[in-house]
Structure 1
């Protein structure tokens, strides 16, 4: 843990837990746990916090300590040091999470461990949980902090009562105003991709969306492409594909009728185009709107999922600390700057077909 430079507080001013937290570069919750010799905090972290507190001249407020001890004792078996991770995804599940969310979870886990929190995963589809049952479990376990992972099945959370919970949602799909939100900046990422593609001479752009044509994520990607083409001389977005991205015959017919020279799609769309090229059909240039899980020979958008997870956890833990200190804070949306990644060959075309299987 790295401590920040911090001048000793003036002797006439009482040093607070917040002062120690700022100086030590950790949260107020971590300072509190460390000074109480909690087993959830590493020995190294405890020593660092103690050293900073002694340097600043921190002295416990006996009345406040007595009050907090009383509150902890009266929580019974509640788990105030646990974050709930809600995953409504479908498909392959690894370690309790949808495989597509593992990078996000690694970011969540990194922050949680640093701050002395554990993670409790609730896979809605896998466990057959309803929104009502999920809330009952969270309240029964005394879990107050919740992070909702990206998922095409947020319909499972429709009607969820979020009151009394501090919730951070990753992505745009789950609508509502009762939680914080951490999102990738599609417009900024697409700006990098489209600017480079236009500089390279491409003018007819096609979009192979995910199966859920009306998902907000699909609409954001498509709108970003259209926005960047609006000011590009001679460039246009062809009619979007409306079939299944894995249906090679339908994709082939779409390519023939629309003749895009550049296609933006998912990794599944990339595999389909590779199959078509193997069969002898000339495939257009390609970029993935999400390179998570894509081979290194695929260019596309890096959503920086681990950073999204880190920010979501930090947002929830920060809000829980503010609530403990009875400080108000408005709901907010934090946008994470993703980036465009060129393939290792720096080429757009599908030149490495051996990875298409």
Structure 2
């Protein structure tokens, strides 16, 4: 067994009885070396536990073929599906990813960006917290390629990809109205995120189009988690608000809301109809199954990487904004 912390190509050359140059050519899959020699060198490298030195590789190529991905919560099934799209695209184009979570904390986002840049990633895909935006200025000033995912940045012109949030919220609210519901509560995310702002705009637009007066007392705010959706719905019920429909910022909030309604013996959808947003896998398996707005999560991740790849390979210079279509998925909760 090899005692050194890191195995070098010099160690491989010595063990295989070949030159350092031959080892380098084998490890970099160069054509001018016999398959037999290449196979032998790769076997020796594996046996010794060789790990490629990306720092040295960066010094030579000025690229690592690694990108940083910063998400607010990769355990959230929405982001898990987006991440799958990013990973598939990265593999297709010969890249690897380093993933970091922010838990919706701006300071954690700043730290993640700093750490990934220290690791010399070639570029970044970020689902930003959006309480502040100084980190984008830093990236733009340093000319670091990055793509904003799931959010719209209004103060800077950057590469970004997100869903048609206004349209999605309009479809959700309109569907509740068309099922005969008139008193509609919205449980939104906090308004520092662009998605929350645009979904509130879509909700208001649908109410206006169907001559229902907007009442700010019918809009509540929640972090995008099941527990928070549950607590906020309990609060709405405690406040004695009269409502027959709930439109939730995401499916997790909606699942929490349905639990709270069930505990109060409120029938879904007869007494209160519920619509979520995202169409995560759980939505079809809760009881009743959840009506929701389907976002192209995998496609969003895949396209986000392709947008970044275009920047990395200088195939596109101007920033691009991509807006993906959404779809209403009708299920038992309405």
Structure 2 match to 1:261: 244
Answer yes or no: is the 8 Å Cα contact 1:203–1:236 preserved in 2.
no
User: 1:92-133 CA distances to partner (integer Å, 9 max, x unpaired)?
Assistant: x55xxx654111110001111111111122334699856377
Please list, as runs of the form range in 1=range in 2, the aligned pairs for 1:211-290 lying within 5 A after superposition. Answer: 212-233=190-211, 235-238=212-215, 239-242=217-220, 245-247=229-231, 248-254=233-239, 256-257=240-241, 259-265=242-248, 266=250, 267-281=252-266, 283-290=271-278
Secondary structure at 2:99's aligned position in 1? strand
Q: Distance in 2 between matches of 1:74 and 1:118?
A: 14
Answer yes or no: is the 8 Å Cα contact 2:182–2:244 preserved in 1.
yes
Structure 2 match to 1:85: 69
Instruction: Select 2:291's aligned residue among 269, 289, 299.
Output: 299
Instruction: Select 2:327's aligned residue among 315, 339, 343.
Output: 339
Structure 1 residues 241 and 74 mapped into 2: Cα distance closer, same or farther (>3 Å)?
Answer: closer
User: 1:219-250 CA distances to partner (integer Å, 9 max, x unpaired)?
Assistant: 211110111221214x3444334465432541
Structure 2 match to 1:123: 101
Answer yes or no: is the 8 Å Cα contact 2:165–2:195 preserved in 1.
no
Q: Distance in 1 between matches of 2:179 and 2:305?
A: 39
Q: Distance in 1 between matches of 2:328 and 2:274?
A: 13
Unaligned runs of 5+ in 1: 1-35, 40-71, 349-357
Answer yes or no: is the 8 Å Cα contact 2:176–2:273 preserved in 1.
no
Q: Distance in 2 between matches of 1:126 and 1:264?
A: 22
How many residues are paired up? 264
Answer yes or no: is the 8 Å Cα contact 2:246–2:274 preserved in 1.
yes
CA shift at 1:137, angstroms? 4.3
Answer yes or no: is the 8 Å Cα contact 2:283–2:290 preserved in 1.
yes
Instruction: Select 1:311's aligned residue among 293, 298, 303.
Output: 303
Structure 2 match to 1:106: 84
Q: Distance in 2 between matches of 1:143 and 1:200?
A: 50
Structure 1 residues 104 and 230 mapped into 2: Cα distance closer, same or farther (>3 Å)?
Answer: same
Structure 1 match to 2:167: 188
Structure 1 residues 284 and 113 mapped into 2: Cα distance closer, same or farther (>3 Å)?
Answer: same
CA shift at 1:270, angstroms? 3.5
Answer yes or no: is the 8 Å Cα contact 1:131–1:160 preserved in 2.
no
TM-score by length of 2: 0.66
Unaligned runs of 5+ in 2: 1-27, 32-55, 223-228
Answer yes or no: is the 8 Å Cα contact 1:166–1:179 preserved in 2.
no
TM-score by length of 1: 0.62
RMSD between superposed Cα atoms in Å:
3.5
CA shift at 1:286, angstroms? 0.8
CA shift at 1:202, angstroms? 2.4
